[in-house]
Structure 1
Amino acid sequence: MMSQVNSGSGVAAGAASARAPLAYGATRPIVGIALLVLSGWALSTLDAAGKWAMGAGVSLLMLCWVRYVVHMLLVLGLVLPVRGVGVLRSVRPRAQFVRGSVMLLATLSFFTTLHLLPQAEATAINFLAPLIMLSLAPWLLKEPARVSRWVAAGVGFLGVLIIIRPDGGLDTLGTISGLITAFLFAGQFIATRRVAVDDPFTTLIWSGAVGSVCLTVALPFILPAALPFLSELGPWHWIVLISTGFWGAAGHLLQIQAYRNAPASMLAPFIYLQIISAATLGWLVWGQFPDAVTWVGIAIICGSGIVLGAWEWRDRGRALRVSKT
C-alpha cells in the first residue's frame, strides 16, 4: 500500500514527513532513501501476502483483523519499552480516531482492489492519492492554491485513465474500488496533516489501535463464518496470514526512520519506486506483469508526482533564500 503508504501504500508516512524532519533534522539522506526503499518492499510484501491469503479463501474482514492486531502487538512491543506509556497520549485524540477510521476503510478498500486487480496496477492507481490531497489542500487544509498541483493531479489522472482503459482487461469492480481507495487514502493524508502535532509513533499506534478495536468489536460477527475455513488452514497459510501484520509494522517503522534521516522533499520521488517492488512480486507470485501501455500510464502517474515534488522543493528553497536576505 502506498505507502507511500498501505498498505501499499503507508500508515505513518504522512505523520513522519510532516513532523520528523523538523524534529530530528536531516543528517543522513542516503540512509533515509535506503530505509524508504526497504519500506516500499516491506509494504509491497504485505500487499502480496494479503492478496495471496484472500486468493486462498481468507475473508476480507478476517484478513484485516489479523493484519491490524499483529501489527498493533508488534508496534507496542517495540515502541513502549523505548518511549514509555506517554507515547500513547495524543494532543488531538478525536482527529486521531477520524484518521484511524479513514485508514481502516482505505485498508478494506485496497485489499478488495488487490483481490480483483494485479498488484502493480492496484499500486499505481493508489499513487493518485497524494495528488488528490494536494489539489484539495486549498479548501480542506487552507493552504495556498497552486496551479502546479492541479496540473499534476490532472496529468496523474490521465495516467490512471491509460491504466484502466476499456481494452486493458482490468476488472471493472476492481477499477472502481481502486479509485475509491485513492480518494480514501487522500482523506487519510489530509487527516494526517491534522494530527502532525503528535509524535509519529503516537500516530502509528493510534492508527493500528482504531482498526484493531473496530475489527475486534465486529469479531463475533466475523468469526462464525470464518472458523470452518480457518480450521482447515495449513501451517504455510497461517505463516502468510500472520506475516501481513509483521510486514505492515516493518514497513511503517522503516518509513518513520527514513523521515528521521532525510527531509520529506528529498524522499518524495523515491516513494514511487514501490511500483518496482509491486510489479516484481506480482510477476514472481502470479505471473502478472503490466503491458507496455500500462507502463506508460504508470510512468505518467509517477512522473507527475516526481515533477511536482521537485517543483515544490525548488519553491521552498527559493522562499528560504528570500527570507534570509
Structure 2
Amino acid sequence: MPSPPASPAGRQILAGVLLLVASMWALSGLDASGKYLMGTDVGVTLLAVCLVRYGVHMALTLITIIPSRGWKALRSSRPRAQAARGLSMLAATMLFFSALHYLPLGQATAINFLAPLIVLAAAPWALKEPPFLSRWVAAGAGLLGVLVVVRPGSGLDPTGTLFGLLTACALASQYIASRRVAVDDPYTTLIWSGAVGSAVMTLLLPLYWRDLVALSGQLSALEWLVLLGTGFWGCLGHFLQIHAYHKAPASLLAPFVYFQIVSGTALGWLIWGQFPDLVSWLGIAIVCSSGITIGLIEWRRNGASRARIPPTS
C-alpha cells in the first residue's frame, strides 16, 4: 500500500531544514569569495571587499523588501541593539576574511562553531538566563575540539588562528545582540545588517578610496563577479535563514547549522585543494558533536519547561 502523505507540520519542518542547509551553502559561498579575493593573486583589500559586500547586501534588501513591506520595514523598536548587532557582524566579517587569508576554509569554519557554545556559556551574564552545567561542559568540549584543530603541528598559521578565534568571539557578540533584536521583524534586521556595515564602510572611505580607484581598472570580469557575489551570497544566506526559522523551531534547526562544515570543506577542496587531515577531522567532530548534543539537550529542556506551563483559557 502507498505510504500516507506527510503531515503539513512535517512538510514545514522539512522545508525549514532544507532552507537552512541551503543557507549554509550560500554563506560558504560568501566565505569562499572572500578568501579568493583576499588571496595574493587578486589582492583586493579587506576594506574594499567589505564595502562591496555590505553595499550590495543593503541594495538587494531594499529592492526586494521595501516594495512589498514599505518603508516601515526600516523602523526598529531597538535601534541601538540593531546598531550593536550590525557592528558585531561587520567585525566578524572583517576578522573572518582576515583569517581566511591564512587558513583553509574548512578549518576556519570549524573554529567559528565555537561561537554558539560561547553564547551558551555566557548566557547567565549576557542574557540573564539560568546557568546550566551542561552548557559549560559543551563549551569546554567545543574548545577542546578547536584546540585539536589548531594544535601545534597542524600546519595552520598562528596569525590566522588568532583571527579565527577573534571571529568566534565577534560572532558570539552578534548572536547575543540577535536575541535582543528578536522583537523586530526579521526583515528589518536583514536591512539593518547591510545598512550598518555600509554606513561604517562609507565613513571609512577616505582611508581606502585610492585603493578603490586603482581596483576599478585592475580586476577582470570574473573577479568583479566574485566581488559583487560577496553581497549576493551574504544577503541570500541570511534571507534563506529567515525563511527557515519561519518554517521550523530554532531549537530543532540548531543541529543542522553544523552542516556548514560540509559546504565549507567541499568548497575549500574543490577550489584550493585544501582538505583537513584525520586529526583535524577528529577536532571538527568534537566541536560538532558538542554543539549538536547541547542543541538536543536545550530542545528537550525547552520542551519540558513548556509542558509545565499551565494552559490559559
**TM class by shorter-chain length?**
over 0.9
2:5 alignment counterpart: none
Q: Provide the C-alpha distance between the structure 1 equivalents of 2:308 and 2:200, rounded to a whole number of angstroms.
A: 49
Deviations 1:173-222 (A, max 9, x none): 00001001101110111111111111111111111101001101211321
Q: Give 2:230's aligned amino acid.
A: T
Does the residue aligned with 2:153 lie in a helix, a strand or coil?
A: helix
Write the mapping of 1:1-325 to structure 2, written as runs, cut at 5 A.
28-55=12-39, 56-324=42-310
Q: CA deviation at 1:226?
A: 3.6
The letter for the 2-side match of 1:182 is A
Distance 1:148 1:26 in 2: 29
**Residues 157-166 or 95-104, more deviating:** 95-104
Distance in 2, Cα, partners of 1:297 & 1:166:
13
Aligned to 1:28, what secondary structure does the other structure show?
helix
* CA drift at 1:102: 1.4
Contact 1:36 / 1:270 at 8 angstroms: preserved in 2?
A: yes
What amino acid sits opposite 2:209 in the alignment? L
- CA distance in structure 1 between the aligned counterparts of 2:100 and 2:186, rounded to whole angstroms: 27
Q: 1:3-35, CA deviations, whole angstroms, 9 ceiling, x for partnerless residues?
A: xxxxxxxxxxxxxxxxxxxxxx99700000000
Contact 2:106 2:268 in 1 (8 A): yes
Structure 2 partner of 1:9: none
3-state SS of paired residue (1:123) = helix
Write the deviation string for residues 120-141 of structure 1: whole angstroms up to 9, x where unpaired.
Answer: 0110000000000110010111
Are the counterparts in 2 of residues 282 and 289 from structure 1 also a CA contact under 8 Å?
yes
Q: How big is each residue's C-alpha offset from its partner over 1:276-322, in whole Å with a ceiling of 9 and x where there is no partner?
A: 00000000000000000000000100100100010111112222223
Instruction: Write out per-residue CA displacement over residues 108-164 of structure 1, whole angstroms, 9 at most, x where no aligned residue.
Output: 001101111000011000000000011001011110001110000000000000000
Q: TM-score, normalised by structure 1?
A: 0.90
CA distance in 2, matches of 1:286, 1:177: 20
Larger Rg: 2
Tell me how far 1:54 sits from its aligned partner: 1.2
Query: SS where residue 37 of structure 1 aligns?
Result: helix
Identify the residue that residue 17 of structure 1 maps to in structure 2: none
Offset of 1:228 from its aligned partner?
2.0
Give structure 1 stretches of 5+ with no counterpart: 1-24
**Deviations 1:49-102, CA, capped at 9 Å, x for gaps:** 111011111000000100000111011111111111111000011111111111
Inter-partner Cα distance in structure 2 for 1:57 and 1:118:
17
Q: Amino acid of the residue matched to residue 207 of structure 2? A: F
Alpha carbons of 1:208 and 1:26: their partners in 2 closer, same or farther (altered >3 Å)?
farther
Q: State the alpha-carbon separation in 1 of the partners of residues 308 and 123 from structure 2.
A: 24
Moved more, 275-284 or 211-220: 211-220
Q: Which residue of 1 aligns with 2:6?
A: none
Separation (CA, whole Å) in 2 of partners of 1:112 and 1:184: 13
Query: Any conservation in 2 of the 1:133–1:189 contact (CA below 8 Å)?
Result: yes
Matches of 1:227 and 1:162 in 2, distance apart? 43
Identity of aligned residues (%): 57
Give me the whole-angstrom Cα distance separating, in 2, the residues matched to 1:35 and 1:162. 31
| RMSD between aligned residues | 1.3
**Is the CA contact (8 Å cut-off) linking 2:45 and 2:211 kept in structure 1?**
no
Q: Give runs of ≥4 in structure 1 deviating > 6 Å.
A: none
